[in-house]
Amino acid sequence: MRRFTRLPGTELKVMQAVWNCGGYPVATARVREMLEREKPWNVSALQTLLNRLIARGFLTSEKRGKNRCYTPLVGEEEYLADENRSVLEKLNGNSVTRLVASLYDSHSITEEDLEDLRAFLEERTAEP
C-alpha cells in the first residue's frame, strides 16, 4: 500500500469534493459547486488548493476549452486506508482492540456500532 502525505483540512475537503463529483475529469466550477453546498468558496482560493493537490500528486489537470479539469491520481478508499493505518500506528500502537476500547470508553462508538462490527467480523471470518 502506498503512503501519502496527510492532507490539511481544506485540501482534504477539496479532494472529497472531487471524489464525490464522480465522472472524471471534473471542471473547477463543478468542484466549487460541490463545496458550496456547505459554504461559499472564493475561486482563487480554490484554484490555489487545487494547484497544491496537483503538486502533492493527488490530482492531475488538463485544459478543456475554457475550463480547467481535474482527475484524481489517488482514490478515496486508498487515501482513507492509509490515513486509518497511520492513526492506528501513531495513536493505538497498531492495536485495533485498543482503538475500539478507546472509542468505546470515550462514548464515541455506540452499541449499534458494536453490533455492526460484530456482524462485519462474523461475515468476514465465516468459513466459505
Mind listing the pLDDT tens digit for each residue in 80-94?
998 888 887 877 777
Helix, coil or strand: residue 96: helix
Residue 90 is part of which domain span?
76-125
Q: What is the pLDDT of residue 1?
A: 64
Single-letter amino acid code for the residue at 12: L
Can you tell me the mean pLDDT for 37-55? 97
* Chain centroid, CA 87 distance in Å: 14
Domain contains 25? yes
Task: State the maximum Cα–Cα separation within the chain, in Å, rounded to a whole number.
Answer: 56
Count of structural domains within the chain: 2
Q: Is the per-residue pLDDT at 52 higher than 70? A: yes
pLDDT on residue 48:
98
Q: Could you tell me if residue 1 is inside a domain? A: no
Q: Which of 82, 92, 119, 93 is nearest to 111 (CA)?
A: 119
Q: Determine the average pLDDT of the residues in 49-61.
A: 98
